[in-house]
A = this chain, B = another copy of it.
Amino acid sequence: MTSQAESRGSRDQGLHAHLLAALGPAITAGEFPPGTVLRTDELADRYEVSRTVVREAVRVLESMHLVESRRRVGVTVLPTEAWNVYDPQVITWRLAGADRPRQLRSLTMLRSAVEPVAARLAAELATPEECAELTEHALGLVRTSRGEQLPGYLVHDIAFHRVILRASRNEMFARLGDVVAAVLTGRTEHEVMFRDPRQAAVTLHVQVAEAVREGDAATAERLMRTITEDAMAELDVLAP
């Protein structure tokens, strides 16, 4: 065993996480085309870890359906269709990779399918506390809608949509909060958004908060549909 201190790599969460952080992005980025076979020993040698660590990382990749391990064959990279594209880890890796635009488009489409329904449910089921949160974040959007306050705007935007999804009282919807956060963050980071958030969007958010507070499900859904469709349109304009 060499000094085993490792130059740096990842002090975060263990060697297996380090390996995952190396293999996951590489696979999702297509550096290993589907059908590529990786050997455990080779990986252990390449990344200077024991086979134990490699096997644990492979097990995780396998649970994400990124690879398949077969005896006497090796660890085979699976085609995209097999991947667990809802796994937050996979989403993160892909958003950081080459096919980011395609990924962003898929996720935005998912948003535009789910969020309007979530808004309708929220209007029917939101607690007073959640209504208050919505109003607060809507006001936050108004405050940060002008000038160089994109980071602040982003925080309120994410929080607003998280509350909507959570207030829908649907587990599956609530879990998309992370996805929405990733999409919105990505949009801001890559300046796939005008420097001054459009006032129309801000107004719509305020109105959604109102509709939810008043229990107007139909209006909440319609307004949210407008918001997400605008997001889709924005993407169509600024991406191939």
Which chain B residues border A80 with CB–CB below 8 Å?
171
* Contact call A86/B170, Cβ cutoff below 8 A: no
How many chain A residues touch the partner (CB < 8 A)? Answer: 36
Residues of A with Cβ closer than 8 Å to B?
A: 16, 52, 55-57, 59-60, 62-64, 80-81, 84-89, 102, 106-107, 109-110, 112-114, 116-118, 121, 170-175
* Contact call B87/A84, Cβ cutoff below 8 A: yes
Q: Which of B52, B59, B102, B121 has a CB less than 8 Å from the CB of A60?
A: B59
Beyond A109-B172, A110-B170, 5 additional contacts (C-beta under 8 Å) are A16-B59, A86-B86, A106-B170, A106-B172, A113-B173
Q: Which of B55, B85, B117 has a CB less than 8 Å from the CB of A172?
A: B85
**Contact status of A109 and B175, CB under 8 A, knowing A87-B87, A114-B114:** no
